[in-house]
Structure 1
Amino acid sequence: MLYYAFSVFLTPMAADLQAGSTQIAAALTTAILVAALCAPLVGRLLDTYGGRGLMSAGSVLGTLAVLAWSRVDSLLQLYAVFAAIGVACSMVLYESAFAVIVSWFDGPARARGRANALLALTVVAGFASSIFLPLTGLLVEWYGWRQALVILALIYGVAAIPLHALVVRRRPHTRQKPATAEERADIVRAATRRRPFWLLVIAFTALPLVGHTVPGAIGCVLGFGLGFGVASITLPHLLLQRYDSTAYASLSGRIAAFSVTDKALAPLGAVALAQAAGYGWVMGAVAVACVIAALALVAYHRL
């Protein structure tokens, strides 16, 4: 909800703030870039302290940031609010939630439970855009964009804050001696100095496809969604398979720093390339990126 419904607010915000759509859209890019910058630190904190405190603070920050969003009167205020939203996103979205699940279902004996939990989270979270896009549209139509944000902030706060504060727990320590911060740092340094880690970075920073007909385009969109969902639940398994769970969140945060930055910059790059050379070149670039990602995964599994 923190950014899925942003497109619904784009037009009314632009009119109210007397700004261009590109200037308004830059706020979302700001949030995603800030989330990418925060990802490594958030990963280290998750490895050290667990998810309860961090995710609770993130949900409180997210609620307050959305409330502040409803009161902005200038582009500067909007960008500042979305920087705060970016921090909140890094604390509560996929990467953090996956890290909490991995730490809770630690050890080979609990691998099945971990896989089921990751799948359940991905399926439930996948409905976020399906639910909040139409809901936000109705709220904006009935109450205006500012009041709609207040309602959404309350919905988010009431749902997320108690869940993170009361349900998320510290992982049960299955090891006789918990890993120290220095030991986790050594694991991260060793991983980031070797080729397999960077192959994962490449593989999870590029995505799909092209269709020249309406059925083909629909098929590609469906394939994109399927691939995106598979990628979301596959990365945790790949990291655990090679590096164990001791520094999982730190390594996941390092990858997120690249992949989330890519998500923020790719739309701007696509628009610039489309204006300069046409959308055919955009689709070609995406296809090349997908081939590179596939080759990176193949090479990763051979190492």
Structure 2
Amino acid sequence: MIRRRTVLCLGLAQLVSWGTTYYLIGGFGPRIIAETGWSQTLVHGGFSAALLGMGLSSAWIGRLIDRHGGRAVMTAGSLLSALGCIGLALARDPVSYYAAWLVLGVAMRCTLYDAAFAALARIGGAEARRPMAQITLLGGLASTAFWPIGESLAGAFGWRGAVLAYAGFALLTIPLHLTLPAGHDGGRERSTAAAAPLAGGRRQPWIAGALYALIVTLTNILNAGMSAHMIGILAGLGLAAPVAVWIATLRGIGQSGARLAEVMFGGGLSPPALTLAAAALLPVCFVAGLWGGQVPTAAIAFAFLYGAGNGLLTITRGTLPLVLFDPGRYGAIAGRLLVPGFLGSAAAPVVYAAVIERWGEAAALWLSAALAAVTLAAAAALCATARAAPDSAALR
């Protein structure tokens, strides 16, 4: 049984953790470039280094959560988040700048959704689907809350002072993570008994695993690219910088709005079907974004619909393993399958920066639309695979 207090505290921790780490570069990137004189590629390469750190540590941290639970791992992640923010605020050269981002990368793997999902799966097994969706309601507002907060702090204290304040916010998540149960809780036994995961002979579980990894990889690439560059893309298309910031915050509203709808009305929709519905929104939003500079409504649709699609895909990233694989080994299996996504997304901020510098913001949106189309095709294939093997055993 997962307590409501645990879900609420974990949701609040997600709000702060995402806002102070993953969305940091999207808010402060232009200020860092202006102050340091470093290139856009070098500055956003720090975020890529963090995502690389997430990928390299993913399988190990997944196993740690399976073995010890989320309480110890996520609390340690809070401390690492604060340490990384302090290091970033003090960085005066690229070496120390990248070192701080590597610390933040490990911290993100310990504190963000994938760690929280594994912690909930360990507690509640197959019953963790609804709590997984619930914690994303607050986490989805991270960009909406922290991009304006960061802009205000940076205006008053500079980006370095703002990042130091972020270190303080990160420390505030420690008591929230301590609400998770400590030690072994029996969730592993309950989850294995309660689940009816997919397989079907020898091929289906591996096909499902490959499709799951592909969907996660492409959505992570898009998420990393948009987190780092959405504001810059909107501004480059012709919107004034303050307008671009506020329209970009609609992404968070779209995320949480779609997640709220899923929590309230999506219980009858299977995770593969929800994945397909969410993936269908992505090509539409990027095509709409191409007219964002001339038609403000199109820019609003771009940010809001991207947030809605990405928000639902974040939920299914956590709930798909509950129905596709063995919930008793959730952390280890998901941790392994998430590695390509983290490694792929590590290149996204730099690749997007290079595309924008060479061909412009519209080219970045066309690239995103192409990746979204492949994601939609993979989601359709996953639905077909799930329908073909409804009564199979878990991936081992």
TM-score of Structure 1 vs Structure 2, range by shorter chain: 0.7 to 0.9
Aligned to 1:195: 207
> 2:176 aligned with 1:163, yes or no?
yes
What SS class does the counterpart of residue 23 from structure 2 fall into? coil
Q: Return the offset for 1:137.
A: 0.8
Of 168-177 and 60-69, deviating more is 168-177
Q: CA deviation at 1:76?
A: 0.8
Matches within 5 A, 1:167-182: 167-170=180-183, 172-173=185-186
* Unmatched runs of 5 consecutive residues or more in structure 1: 180-189
Query: Which of residues 36, 41, 59 is equivalent to 2:60?
Result: 41
- Deviation string 1:151-200 (CA, Å, 9 cap, x unpaired) is 2211220x211222344434521567999xxxxxxxxxx99982221111
Pairwise CA RMSD: 2.8
Over 3 Å counting, the alpha-carbon distance change for 1:220 and 1:140 in structure 2 is closer
Distance apart, 1:276 and its partner CA? 6.0
Q: Which amino acid aligns with 2:62?
A: G
How far apart, CA to CA, are the structure 2 residues paired with 1:175 and 1:138? 45
CA contact (8 A) 1:61 1:84 kept: yes
Q: Which amino acid aligns with 1:296?
A: A
For structure 2, list consecutive stretches of 5 or more residues without a partner in the other structure.
Answer: 1-19, 193-201, 220-281, 390-396
Aligned to 1:169, the other structure's residue is in SS state coil
In structure 2, relative to structure 1, the CA distance for the partners of 1:290 and 1:79 (3 Å cut) is same
The alignment partner of 1:106 has SS state of helix
Distance 1:167 1:133, change over 3 A: same
For residues 98-247 of structure 1, the aligned pairs below 5 Å read 98-107=117-126, 111=127, 114-157=128-171, 159-170=172-183, 172-173=185-186, 194-207=206-219, 208-209=282-283, 210-211=287-288, 212-213=290-291, 214=295, 215-247=297-329
1:219–1:146 CA distance, 2 compared to 1 (3 A): closer
Give the total of aligned pairs: 288
Matched, 1:257 2:339: yes
Alpha-carbon distance between aligned partners in 2 of 1:63 and 1:240, rounded to the nearest angstrom:
32
Relative to structure 1, the CA distance from residue 205 to residue 29 in structure 2 (aligned partners, 3 Å threshold; closer, same or farther) is: same
- Cα offset, 1:43, TM superposition: 0.7
Distance 1:282 1:271, change over 3 A: farther
Q: CA separation in 1, counterparts of 2:204 and 2:102?
A: 28
Tell me: CA distance 1:175–1:204, structure 2 relative to 1, closer, same or farther (3 Å). closer
Q: Is the 8 A contact 1:27 1:82 kept in 2?
A: yes
Q: Tell me the secondary structure at the aligned position of residue 172 of structure 1.
A: coil
For the Cα contact (< 8 Å) 1:43–1:253, is it kept in 2? Answer: yes
CA deviation map 1:11-63 (0-9, x unaligned): 33223333222211110111011111211111111111111111111111111
- Identity value in percent: 27
Counterparts of 1:26-105 in structure 2 under 5 Å?
A: 26-105=45-124
Question: Which deviates further from its counterpart, 193-202 or 216-225?
Answer: 216-225
* SS in structure 1 at match of 2:64: helix
Residue identity matched to 1:266: A
Contact 2:70 2:180 in 1 (8 A): no
